[in-house]
Chain A
Amino acid sequence: MLKRLIILNSTTYGKAIVKLDDSDSIQLVGPNNIGKSTFIYALNFLFIIDGKKMAFVDNKPGDKETVHHYFPSSTNSYIIFEIYKQSYYCILLKRNSEGEVEYYRVDREYSDDMFIKNKNGQQVVMKFDDLKTQFAADGIELYAFKDKREVFNFVYQRGNRNNGVIWLEDTVMSDGLSNNFSKVYRYLINSKLITNKTLKESLMIADNRDNEGINFSQKSKKDIHDLLRINEEIKTISDIQKDFFEFREELNLYKAKTKNLAELVFLFNSRYSPTLTELEMQALQKKQELDKTQFELNEKLIPKKQKLDREIGGNEVELKQISEDQLELQQQIAEINSYEGVQFLNQQLANFDKVRKDTEINLTRVERYTVKQIQQKIADLKASIGKLDAQVKGYSNQLIHKITANQKDREVLNFILSTDFSSQSSELISKEITKLGSLMKLFDGEIKLPKGLKGSPIESIEDLKEKLTEFKKEREEYEKLLPVAVDFEKAQKKLDEVKEQIEEAKMKIAKLKTKPGLDKELTKQNGLFKTISEKKEQLEKDLKTLNAEVTRKSNSITVLTEAKDDLYRRIAELKVWKEEVEKINIVPVKVESKDTLNDIYSKLRMVGTDREQIKSNKDRAFDNLKYRINSTESDEDNFIKFIEDEIACLDEKQKSIDTILQAISTQFANPAYTLLKRYGEFKEYIDTKFNNKLAQIKISDIESLKIVLNETTRVIDDLKKISSIQEFSPQARLDFDQSENLKTLNGYLDSGKKIEFEELFDIELQLTKGGKEKIVDLKEQVESTGTDIMIRLVIIMSVINRLAIDDKNNKVTITIDEIARVDGKNRLELFRFCKEHNFIPVCTSTEETILDGFDKYILMFRPQKGKKVNLNEGYPNVMTHDKTEVNEEA
């Protein structure tokens, strides 16, 4: 049993040692938040072990945070459980560097000096490495548990001949890191967890019923549906047999036709190539022949014919031209012969030309003058003539001629007396004339003569005479001009007539000159006409021959073209056949035959059409069958093999399905029936065994206590229905809708729900008070708070008591929070129960109140600020009673 609980260097405690085996009940007294709960919940580490199932303050699991709370250091924080069974040993707990709790066993009782050493007058908790060294030196074995499972299997051992912390009854079942004891014990570490549900659960655990139930897995439902589906498939296979056999026949026929067709394809292919080659050769020859003829016709004969045509045409044109030329020559010669002689014509020409010239001059001059101007001119000229005539006559009396004898001087003077001199520069004036007189000596003036002065010449008489003659001539001309100016158009007309006459004369003269040439030309043309006519006749003869040749060649081209086209048509036809045959997409099968290509093709067409027809029927049948059996098989042979197999296996499959369906129905009916039986057995356990024990307990004014199980009618009825299912019939699909039993099962299968044992019943408490029985719902508080707590604790302890061996050396430490809620009398009753059943209650209260009835009080004092709580197993923390005083009840 657990003798001492020691906590070293936790977050709350420096050192806490509490002796648990020297008293029957213990109260931890101390202010709030000092670590009372921390201390008692440390029991989780020894008795629950599985961190997830541990329950600390506020039902917190044994997670990393909790572990760090108890073991802030991985090197020198410990919890030690000192145990005595067959011998003393300690279970030492520490945290590793990964936050996991490690368990060790030390086979000796606890003493401070094993874990605490004195260092400079201070008590220091030893580090784990030092501890190991120390243990080794002292010959103390420190056994490390391999894992939590090993710890669990060591703590809980069946029978009383072992060193387990708890000796369990043989009936206790383990399941991994839990067993019936540990499942229920957690409620005795943390009594706040005791609810109606957990009470019920504890009762089931007490009789190993917590794992009972029926699982309606989706797998079962799937199995049933699979079987029904297979059954449906069998039925379908059975239904389609007739159609299937027809399809198989159709397929065989199709295969035969396909083979036939494959042979024909082979024959066709084997004939096709040589035939095609031969036809192509023939066609090529025809084409070459045709090309040759065509070439000859187009390139030789026709051009030749065209040339002849052109030559003949040319000759004809030439002859016509020559005839016309001859005629023209003859006409020209006749005309020339009618002309005057050349001499006469030349004279006539000269005459006409003179007239023309005169007329043209007059006409030209008259254009510059009006009639009046001419008349004025004539008058002016008459005056000038008279003047000049006078000058000639008085020439020697003129001043200039007489002024000086020197000709040169006369000329100088002639200059000086002219206006040219007066227009000279005034700078030449040396002395200005001041006074004019009647005699000119240039007066008193002096004028410089320009340097290089040349005199002005003086007209001679000859000049004057000549000038006179010219004036006269000019006057005559103007006088001739005058009539022209008066009637210009008449003069013009006269000019034109003269010009025509000139031209005519010229033309006649020219023609007279060409006459010998014309005669010669005419003779030549006559000869030429004869030559060409003979040539043309020859050409016409050649053309006739050529035309006959062209006609013959043209006719042969038509024949050749038709022959060639026929060959090409055949080739094209064969190619179309070939395409058709290739489209059949079939592997040819070798065969011998003497049939012609045409025969083969016509057979091929016929067989192909038949095959297509059969294929269509067969495919339709195949699709239909596939649809009916819901198959996606695309290979017909596989499909046939499949259906044949299925048909062959029909009976055996049907039998198998019936048997498996029966097995599945048994797999539901049997556990349902068994569960009902188990419930009956559990009820018996509660009624006879458990309630017997409860009946002996006296709580408050309650005379007797009994657990009553109330069946959950709905679930029990469902189980009865399911257990009555005899067998699924192949028509179960329908039955599911009709049979009440199957409908019930189906409901559970649909939801995939499990019927847990706890669903079969609810618990109530039957109290006898003042001789009267009373049923109390455990979901509500039973009587007063204290009574309620006590009843629940007692029920749980009764369960535990059935699981642990009832032995003084197998006392179980339990913890009760807020014990003050249980009044004094009930408290004493509770402690009596604990003592009788080997429980050691360690209680706490929210108040710093020492309550009566405990054997031992552990006083927990608040430490100085910043320090940890220390708890000694003696002075100053422990307060005990005298045993005589405890017997207050008496």
Chain B
Amino acid sequence: MIKAEPKTILSFLWTYFEVLRDLFDLQQDNEVIRKEAFQAVLHQHKKDIKLQLMEYKIVRQVNDDYELRDVYYKLIEFILFEFRPLLPEEIDKFGNAITELFRKIKKGVDSDRDILLERLKALSVQIKEFSDAVEKNSIRLLNETRDLKGNVHRVDYREKIQKASFWIEYYIIPLNRILDVNHSQSISNKLLNISEFANQRRLNYDDEGVRQAFEKLYHLLIQTNDDVLRQSKILTNELLPLIERIRTESQILTGWIEFLKNPYRVTPPKLLKMELDSPYSNKIYLNTFEYFEQFTGSDDAIIDDDQEETERWIFKKKKYKEELVKSLPIVNFFEWCNKQLKSEDKHITNEKLFALTCLLFEDDLEVTAYNKDATVKIKTETANLNVPKLKVTQNGIPAES
């Protein structure tokens, strides 16, 4: 139990970060912080903070010596971007853990839900750690290669090649092994097998919670493969130029790489952004309008009163169909239309008549024609229409009934 407030600890970290950084460096080099070195650092900074370090559980004693607790070590490692490179064996360890967890998940997929969810969570953690490990390795490599590319330390060509060769062996070969889809035991293949399994389960697992867990796992797997592949590409891009003999003694290049290493140290000048509008651009009218709009007071936007609506005829299909059905059987459809419209309004227009015509196409009505020449004349406001004489009955029911 830590008695101090979280903010107090964070404040402590902020205040004594330089001390912690030195301790971190010592531990990075020697795995533990030797007692003498520990005291020397405190003495050098003239900070007597051993008590707080122990009380806040930042440092713990290992026999006579000390070490930063893992959580703080990782925190400092992360914020300094100074990662310890992982050995290929350590990366393989993730592969084994992933395989084992997947085996268990497959086996217990239909068993206890909670255990399954826990395993899925654990698998996700392993995959994330694996992905992080690969990324950390890349970051560490990038830090080193950028130094070499900028050739800050004026490294000899042979030494450069040796370094590049070492890195290639140390970083790319394991990545190649991870990503080799033609090797059944590669981590990539294992992840793809898991993703195939996760895909099936995210789509059809009965339990919503488990389904969502599989869904998350599935997307994590996609992202992980993409990430590892991206790391491989980054490393290739990074290392390939190193085996070429390029002139790295360029001040500009060195400066640029130094800038990239810490792009926020100084604020770079803003690049100019120009927008050109030609007078014949189709925007020019509106641009000009907007310009002058600034200097002119806008008029009030008055909402007009709702005008008194003149009586409008709207084809209410449902209503007319009901009327039609009531009148069935109809001997002469258009005559019926004429009567119907006249009963509402004296004005019979083509539009109204044609709108009613669509009732003929209703599924529950049967339309029968008479003889060939049986036509009827209907007079509208604008035309005399010759229309066929049609008989309309209920579909499937005899007219007589």
Instruction: Tell me, yes or no, whether A binds B.
Output: yes
Residues of chain A touching chain B, judged by Cβ–Cβ distance below 8 Å, are: 8-9, 14-15, 29, 64-65, 68, 73-77, 97-99, 116, 119, 122-125, 127, 170-171, 208, 219, 223, 226-227, 230, 642, 645-646, 648-649, 652-653, 655-657, 659-660, 662-664, 666-667, 669-671, 673-674, 677-678, 680-681, 684-685, 688-689, 723-724, 726, 824-825, 848-852, 859, 861, 863-864, 867-868, 870, 872, 876, 885, 888
| Nearest-Cβ distance from residue A854 to partner chain B, whole angstroms | 10
Contacts of A824 in B (CB 8 A): 362
| Contact A670-B181, Cβ < 8 Å, known A77-B301, A663-B175, A870-B306 | yes
**Do the beta carbons of A74 and B244 come within 8 Å of each other?**
no
Q: Is B304 among interface residues, defined by CB-CB distance under 8 A?
A: yes
Residues of B within 8 A of A872 (CB): 306
The interface-forming segment of B89-97, B146-154, B165-173, B378-386 is B165-173
**In the complex, what's the smallest C-beta–C-beta distance from B176 to chain A, in angstroms?**
5
B4 within 8 A of A: no
- Chosen A-B contacts, 10 in total, with CB atoms closer than 8 Å, are A14-B304, A74-B298, A122-B302, A122-B303, A170-B216, A645-B245, A653-B161, A659-B168, A674-B181, A689-B204
Q: Which of B282-309 contact A (CB under 8 A)?
A: 282-283, 286-287, 289-290, 293-294, 298, 300-304, 306-307, 309
Q: Are B204 and A227 in contact (CB under 8 A)?
A: no
Interface residues of B in 61-115 (CB under 8 A from A): none
Contact with A along B262-290 (1 / 0, CB 8 A): 00000000000000000000110011011
From the candidates A127, A655, A724, A861, name the one contacting B168 in the complex (CB within 8 A): A655
Contact with A along B195-206 (1 / 0, CB 8 A): 110011001100
Give the number of A-B contacts (CB < 8 Å).
199
> Which residue on chain A has the smallest CB distance to residue B362?
A824
Chain A CB within 8 A of B30 CB: no
> In the complex, A653 Cα to B225 Cα: how many Å?
29
Chain B residue nearest in CB terms to A677 = B192
Tell me the smallest distance from the CB of B308 to a CB of chain A, in Å: 9
Q: Are B290 and A677 in contact (CB under 8 A)?
A: no
Q: Closest approach, in angstroms, between the C-beta of B117 and any C-beta of chain A?
A: 15
Looking at the complex, which of B251-259, B310-318, B334-342 is the stretch in contact with chain A?
Answer: B310-318
Most buried by A among B203, B219, B355: B203
Task: Determine if B180 is an interface residue (Cβ-Cβ < 8 Å).
Answer: yes
Contacts of B290 in A (CB 8 A): 74, 97-99
Return A28 CB to nearest CB of chain B, in Å. Answer: 13
Is the pair A663, B172 in contact by a Cβ cutoff of 8 Å?
Answer: yes
B307 touches A99 (CB 8 A): no
A663 with B232: in contact, given A76-B298, A648-B158, A861-B309 (CB under 8 Å)? yes
Is the CB–CB distance between B182 and A669 below 8 Å?
yes
Question: Known contacts A75-B298, A680-B196; is A64 also within 8 Å of B286 by CB?
Answer: yes
Chain A CB within 8 A of B243 CB: yes
Query: Given that A76-B301, A726-B182 are known contacts, is A681 also in contact with B236, CB under 8 Å in the complex?
Result: no
Which residues of A have CB within 8 Å of B287? 64, 99
- Does B235 have its Cβ within 8 Å of any Cβ on chain A? yes
Do residues B158 and A649 form an inter-chain contact, with CB atoms below 8 A?
Answer: yes
Shortest beta-carbon distance from B303 to chain A in Å:
4
CA distance A77 to B303 in the complex (A): 12
B196 touches A681 (CB 8 A): yes
Q: For residue B218, which residue of chain A has the nearest CB?
A: A681
Q: Is the CB of A684 within 8 A of B300?
A: no
Whether the Cβ atoms of A73 and B298 lie closer than 8 Å is: yes
A119 nearest in chain B by CB position = B300
> Chain A residue with minimal CB distance to B204?
A688
Query: Restricting to B110-132, which residues have a CB under 8 Å from any CB of A?
Result: none
Evaluate contact between A849 and B355: CB separation under 8 angstroms. yes
| B316: nearest chain-A partner, CB-CB | A850
CB B299 to nearest CB in A, in angstroms, measures 8
Contact of A868 among B181, B239, B304, B315 (CB under 8 A): B304
Complexed CA–CA distance, A646 and B302 (Å):
84
A9 touches B301 (CB 8 A): yes
User: A660 contacts which of B180, B199, B239 (Cβ < 8 Å)?
Assistant: B239
Given known pairs A673-B181, A825-B363, the reply for A655 and B169 (CB within 8 Å) is: yes
Which among B181, B219, B289, B303 is the interface contact of A123 at CB below 8 angstroms? B303
For the complex, is B162 an interface residue (Cβ under 8 Å from A)?
Answer: yes
- CB-nearest residue of chain A relative to B236? A663
| Nearest A residue (CB) for B304 | A867
A657-B243 CB under 8 A given contacts A125-B301, A663-B235: yes
- CA–CA, A723 and B363, complex, Å: 57
The complex places the Cα of A223 from the Cα of B241 at a distance, in Å, of 9
**Interface residue tally on B, bucketed by range:** 35 or more
CB distance from A688 to the nearest CB of B (A): 5
- Complex Cα distance, B37 from A277, in Å, reads 78
Q: Is the CB of B302 within 8 A of A124?
A: yes
Q: Which residues of A contact B244 (CB under 8 A)?
A: 226, 230
Residues of B bordering A, CB below 8 Å? 157-158, 161-162, 164-165, 168-169, 172-173, 175-176, 179-182, 188, 192, 195-196, 199-200, 203-204, 212, 215-216, 219, 222, 225, 229, 232-233, 235-237, 239-240, 243-245, 282-283, 286-287, 289-290, 293-294, 298, 300-304, 306-307, 309, 312, 314-318, 355, 362-363
Q: Contact: B232 with A64, CB < 8 Å?
A: no
Q: How far is the CA of A673 from the CA of B222 in the complex (A)?
A: 13
What B residues does A119 contact at CB under 8 A? Answer: 300
CB–CB A29/B240 < 8 A: no
Residues from chain B with a CB closer than 8 A to the CB of A670 are 179-181, 188, 225, 229
In the bound assembly, the distance between CA atoms of A872 and B236 in angstroms comes to 65
Given contacts A64-B286, A663-B236, A861-B312, is CB(A723)–CB(B306) below 8 Å?
Answer: no
B315's contact among A68, A684, A688, A849, by CB below 8 Å, is which? Answer: A849
Q: Are B161 and A649 in contact (CB under 8 A)?
A: yes
Closest to A651 in B: B165
Complex-state Cα separation, A135 to B97, whole angstroms? 60
Interchain CB contact under 8 A, A689 and B203: yes
What residues of A have a CB within 8 angstroms of the CB of B303 in the complex? 8-9, 14-15, 116, 122-125, 870
B161 contacts A885, C-beta separation under 8 Å:
no
Q: How far is the CA of A885 from the CA of B322 in the complex (A)?
A: 12
A76: chain B residues at CB < 8 Å are 298, 300-301
Selected from B215, B243, B300, B309, the residue in CB contact (under 8 A) with A876 is B309
Please give the distance in Å from B35's CB to the nearest CB on chain A: 42
Query: In the complex the two chains form, what is the Cα distance from A851 to B317 in whole Å?
Result: 7
**Given A73, A170, A666, A888, which contacts B212 in the complex, CB threshold below 8 Å?**
A170
Closest approach, in angstroms, between the C-beta of A721 and any C-beta of chain B? 12
Q: How many Å from the CB of A670 to the closest CB on chain B? A: 5
Check A171–B215 contact: CB distance below 8 A: yes
- Judge whether B182 and A724 touch: CB under 8 Å: yes
| Measured CA separation A76–B314 after assembly (Å) | 35
Cα–Cα distance between A825 and B361 once the two chains are bound (Å): 12
Whether A656 and B301, one on each chain, are in contact in the complex, defined by CB atoms closer than 8 angstroms, is no
Closest to B358 in A: A849
CA distance A171 to B169 in the complex (A): 38
- Separation of A15 and B245 alpha carbons in the complex (Å): 72
Q: How far is the CA of A77 from the CA of B299 in the complex (A)?
A: 11
The answer to whether A864 and B307 touch (CB under 8 A), given A653-B243, A664-B236, is: yes
Whether the Cβ atoms of A863 and B304 lie closer than 8 Å is yes
Please, which residue of chain A has its CB at the minimum distance from the CB of B299? A73
User: In the docked arrangement, what's the CA distance between A856 and B343, Å?
Assistant: 27
Given A170-B212, A230-B243, verify A652-B161 contact (CB < 8 Å).
Answer: yes
Report yes or no: B203 in contact with A685, Cβ–Cβ below 8 A: yes
Please indicate the chain B residues that have their CB under 8 angstroms from the CB of A652 in the complex.
161-162, 164-165
Give complex CA distance A427, B221 in Å.
179
Once the chains are docked, how many angstroms separate the CA of A674 from the CA of B286? 50
A sample of 5 more A-B contacts (CB under 8 A), given A659-B173, A667-B233, A863-B304, is: A68-B289, A656-B165, A663-B175, A684-B203, A861-B312
Residue contact A99 to B172, C-beta cutoff 8 Å = no
Q: Which of B157, B306, B362 has the most CB of A within 10 A?
A: B306
Q: Which residues of A contact B212 (CB under 8 A)?
A: 170
| CB contact under 8 A between A863 and B182, given known A666-B232, A674-B192 | no
Residues of chain B within 8 A of A645, CB atoms compared = 157-158, 161, 245
